[in-house]
Structure formats: C-alpha cells, structure tokens
Structure 1
Amino acid sequence: MALLFRSFYATAVSNQFMYNEAGVPTNGVQGFVKHLLTAIEEHQSDHVGVCWDLGGGTFRNEMWSEYKAHRSAPPAELSPQFDYAKEIADALGFINISCQGYEADDCLGTLADHYRSQNAHTTIVTGDKDILQLVDEDTNVWILQKGYGNYKKYDPITFVEEWEIQPKQLIDLKAFMGDTADGYPGVKGIGEKTATALIKKYGNVQTVIDNVSELSKGQMTKIQNDLEMLDMSLRLAEINCSVPITVEIDTLFYKGFTADSLDICGYYGLKVVRREIEKLLG
C-alpha cells in the first residue's frame, strides 16, 4: 500500500492519472509495479511476495476505536486502483498476501519470522518506517526515498547508528511519542527527544515506569497521568508476528517475465509498465 500511495500522489499532484481504455486510472498501479520491478532488479530477488492492507478494520480498532479513524477517504481516482493493483500483480505472477483483521505490516512480520526459521533472509521494501522494528540479522528493511530505486537500507548496524536504540525499542519509543497518523497520542507532552533519552537510559517502557520516581517532576507527572494510554500505545505500536497465515517460501519463487507479461500490460493498458518489462526482456 505504501508503494501504491506513493506512486499515486507522485503524479496526481499534476493530474497525471493515466486512464486506460476502460476509464480506470492507472497512475498508482503503474508506479507500484515499477517500484516492484526496480526493487527486484536491485535486490536480485529469488522469491517475491506482496502484502496488502484490507478494509474493514483490524484488531487494533477493537483495542482503540480512534485508531486511524481520522484519516481522510482516498481520492476518487485512487479507490478503484486498490483491487486493480492486486489483480495486475496476480496476473504478472506475484503472490498477494493479506489477512482480514490484520495489517500488511503484521503479515510482513509473521512471514519474516517464518522464513527466518527456514534460514532464509528477507528484505522488506516499503515507505513505512514502522516496519523498522522488524530489522534483525535475518531481516533488512529498505525505506523508499524520492524516485525509483532510491532506498535507505537498514540492517541492525545501520539502524543503531541512526536511531541510537535497538530496532525492537522502536515500539517503546512510539509508545511514548504516540503516532498522529495512526491516531494514538502516547504520553502527552513527551516527544521524540525525551522518549529517545528515556529508552536509551532505561531500555523499555516498563523499566521507565518501574523507575518513574527517578525522573523529573514534569516527566513523572506526564507518565503517571497517561499510564493507561501508554500501555495502549505500546500494544498498538507493536507489529503482530502471529498472523494466522501460511505462505510457504516455494510458492513465492520469482519466475521473471516473458512475452506473456507484455500481453498482460497491453490488456490492462499499462504503457509505462510495458516499457519497463521490455527493457528487462532486452
């Protein structure tokens, strides 16, 4: 979804929606597929899967009714591209992965854990920094930057160099800071600088609470006044790595593209994607 949204808004700002013959906008879809192809080429991937969010809410909405509740509805030109993108990804031979009641991030975390047990190394390509909590020796994260093929690449070393905490501690950091985009406040009055200092000194939320009397009066008061929301935010921020899905790695084997792929692009009116695949086919 991060790739699709990024692609849509990159061209929507100048009204370049690139309608196909059926009248369906394709700017987001074409950019999404181009991002996918670029990442595969850069990474030289053996296996590829695409994880999606689904409508209808998740277990986080059951925990906190305000979770993502204030996000505006997608533009009319984007809405039909959600299902269209999945349909096209499937037609091009990619496996779409999702689970009702869970977010794509949860699917990504669950699969990364599963493939780790099979001694496989996973790289996640996204625009969502929440995924960075999954970084470890077996899971790298590439965060999209502006343009195609431009990534900020994270492994455990590069993450610690930038954030000065461990990847899993990002959960505790977000619990204190909250997330305005996702609609939960964390602890009111505690921002990134203070939250980072607390995590660096105490390690996690629970240890901060256990030693709250050591903090300044202002920090202690803020935390004590928001203990319930702090606990809620901690649970909301953590990616669930126990989603009830099974996608064996062999099913994700990447077969590459053929002339049939060009026919698929022609059928869906994907001129940009067709050019990219023609380059790959030489």
Structure 2
Amino acid sequence: MNEQPHILVVDGMALLFRSFFATAPMNQFFRKADGTPTNGVQGFARHVLTAQSMMKPTHLAICWDMGVHTFRNDLFDGYKANRPSPPDELKPQFDMAKEVSEMIGWKNFGEVGMEADDTIGSMVEKWKNDAKITVVSGDKDLLQLLNPSTTIALTKKGYTEYNVYDVQRFEEEYAIAPALFADVKAFMGDSSDGYPGVKGIGPKTALSLIQKYGTVDGVLAAIDELKPAQRSKITEYEEMLKLSHQLAKIHTEVPIHATIDDLSLPTLTQEKLDQLTMDGYSLITRHAKSLFPNG
C-alpha cells in the first residue's frame, strides 16, 4: 500500500513579509543590478527550501493574497484599515515572489477577493482525507484548521524553528475543538486585523465562555446566566460580536483548480539554479545548493 502524500502548504504572504522585515531595518535589501530590492523574495524562497528539506513533503503549494480588498472589507470597513501600506521596497516584491516560485517550479494559488488563509483552508478541506498536510505560516488564526491529518507549523525563529500544533496539543492547551478558535476570536477581537470583538472581554474570558457554552450562539442563548458585567458588554456589542465571528472564520470553499499530483515537488535542475543567479537571486541558488547538493 502506498503511503499518503504529504502536502506542504505555505503561507507565501506571511513568509514574504517576515523575510522583508527581518532584513530591512539593517538596510539589507540585496538589490539587483537595476536597484530592485530582493530581500523579501530571497528570504521567502530560502525559508520554503529549508522547510522542504526539514519536513520532507512529497507535494508543495504556495498561497497568496490577491490584492488588498477582500470580502471581509465588504463586511466591515474597518477590516485591516489600521495597517500601514507596504514600504516602497516591498511593493515590487509581491509579483517577484510569485515569479521566483514559478521559476523554481512551485505552484502558486490565490483567489481575488479572498485571503491566503481562505485558500489554505480550502486546500485543507479538499485534501484532508487524502493526504497528510503541514501548513507553514506565522498566523495563529490558522489553528482553527487543525484536524487529524493537518499540522500547523507557526514560524518562531529563523528558517528552522517552528511552534508546531496538532489537534492533540491544541485541545490540551485550549480545551476546545480547533474549529471553535474563531468563536474565541469573535469575542476577543483582533487589533492587527482591526475588528474589536466585544470591548472589555479579553482572551481568557473569551476562551472560558467558549469552553463553557460551546459557540458564539451558545453564549448568546445563555446570556441570562452570565455575570451582569459580561451580559451588558455582550448585549451592547452583540452585532459586532456576530460580525467579528464572520471576519474570524476562515472560508473553506475557495475553488482549488488542481489535483494533488499537480503539486509534486519540482526537481532543482542546474538550469533553474543558473536562471535564478542570472536574474539576481544568487542567495537562493547558494542556499538551494547547500540544502540539496545532489539536486
């Protein structure tokens, strides 16, 4: 009997931003001959190559946001409204990262109007019964996607250290099912995404409410049992609570136009490595050769 495929699903946006901001403060932009910065792109590719060598997947997919505006902005004007626009040195690197991905042979995914998280969630939903899946990201929101065949590896330090969650670890730490993480987020809100949840309810209270009542709807159904202070806060912010839940929940119905076979790992040929070097990405080439000396 053949072993199940192991798909590495990479949050390309998370790794690109992380790589950019790891080197930009030191003015290490690794510019091409024409002056275009490459620090985010080269860091992203090196990170994925390292993950590939450590985690030994059989298949690989890279997921991207496709533009700033998503259905969540249509639901709530304030969604991510407080985020500064990307630095000028990062802007050209969004398209470059996808190009480098294709050059190496990785398959890019993204849907206009959805976030990378939703594409990742849809891949997990589509293939959870057919493959072992490891998701690499820095985004804890993805913990809601955990299932018996899916592991979330949250970036921790450098290219090699991860905070790894499976269902067992999540349930031990949170004492709820992973899917209910969105219900917890609905109460506590998310300052980086710009939605408030219920003002005055922090992470501990949010978690204890979901542990006791199961869901946002469960808490609302039991509103009369709550302490007066909690009851008044939740009643005052009930509409925002419901909206925050919609914003926190990762969608899993994005169409994924691919089969698992389409995600097969590419071979790192000398021709590809030469092309990367010629295009100004010699750091990637060197890193690839150190990790995969035999191609």
TM-score range, shorter chain: over 0.9
Is 1:175 the counterpart of 2:189 in the alignment? Answer: no
Of 106, 127, 148, the match for 1:94: 106
CA displacement at 1:162 relative to structure 2? 2.5
Shift of 1:58: 0.9
- Find the partner of 1:30 among 42, 46, 52: 42
SS at match of 1:206: helix
- Whole-Å Cα distance in 2 between the matches of residues 128 and 66 of structure 1? 20
Query: Any unmatched runs of 5+ in structure 2?
Result: 1-12
Amino acid at match of 2:278: Y
1:195 — aligned with what? 206
Q: Distance in 2 between matches of 1:121 and 1:162?
A: 23
Find out whether 1:49 has 2:61 as its counterpart. yes
**Residue 185 (structure 1) aligns with:** 196
Q: 2:131 aligned with 1:120, yes or no?
A: yes
Q: Do 2:106 and 2:266's aligned partners in 1 also have CA atoms closer than 8 Å? A: no
Which aligned segments of 4 or more residues in structure 1 are displaced greater than 4 angstroms? none
1:281 positional shift: 2.3
Cα displacement (A) at 1:56: 4.4
Q: Aligned residue for 2:147?
A: 136
What secondary structure is seen at the aligned counterpart in 2 of 1:133?
helix
Q: 1:63 aligns with which of 61, 72, 75?
A: 75
Measure how far apart 1:62 and its partner are.
Answer: 0.9
RMSD across aligned positions (CA) = 1.1
Q: Which amino acid aligns with 2:77?
A: S
Query: Deviation of residue 246 (structure 1)?
Result: 1.9
Q: Give the TM-score normalised by structure 1.
A: 0.97
- Aligned AA (2:196): P
Separation (CA, whole Å) in 2 of partners of 1:256 and 1:195: 47
Give the Cα separation in 2 of the matches to 1:229 and 1:61: 14
CA contact (8 A) 1:92 1:264 kept: no
Would the aligned equivalents of 1:266 and 1:274 in 2 still touch at CA under 8 Å? yes
**Separation of aligned partners in 1, 2:79 and 2:258:** 28
Counterpart Cα distance in 2 of 1:146 and 1:245: 31
| Residues matched between the structures, number | 281
Indicate which of 208, 214, 224 corresponds to 1:213: 224
Confirm or deny: 8 A CA contact 2:104 2:266 kept in the other structure. Answer: no
The answer (yes or no) to whether the contact 2:197–2:244 under 8 Å persists in 1 is yes
Counterpart code for 1:37: L
Question: What SS class does the counterpart of residue 13 from structure 1 fall into?
Answer: helix
Give the equivalent residue in structure 2 for 1:106.
Answer: 118
Matches of 1:161 and 1:271, distance apart in 2: 44
Note if contact 2:104-2:272 (Cα within 8 Å) is conserved in structure 1.
yes
- Deviation of 1:276 (Å): 1.1
Say if 2:161 is the partner of 1:150.
Answer: yes
Name 1:83's counterpart in structure 2. Answer: 95
Instruction: Show the 5 A alignment for 1:155-170.
Output: 155-170=166-181
- Asked if 2 retains the 8 angstrom alpha-carbon contact of 1:111 and 1:247, the reply is no
Deviation at 1:263, TM superposition (A): 1.0
Q: Tell me how far 1:260 sits from its aligned partner.
A: 1.5
Q: Deviations over 1:168-209 (max 9, x none)?
A: 111000000011111110001100011011111111111111
Percent of aligned pairs with the same residue? 47
Structure 1 residue runs of 5 or longer lacking an equivalent are: none
One-letter code aligned to 2:256: I
1:99/1:245 contact within 8 Å kept: no
Is the CA contact (8 Å cut-off) linking 1:48 and 1:252 kept in structure 2?
A: yes
Letter in 2 for 1:54: M
CA contact (8 A) 2:46 2:288 kept: no
Superposition deviation, residue 268 in structure 1: 2.0
Partners of 2:114 and 2:195 in 1: how far apart? 18
**Aligned counterpart, 1:13:** 25
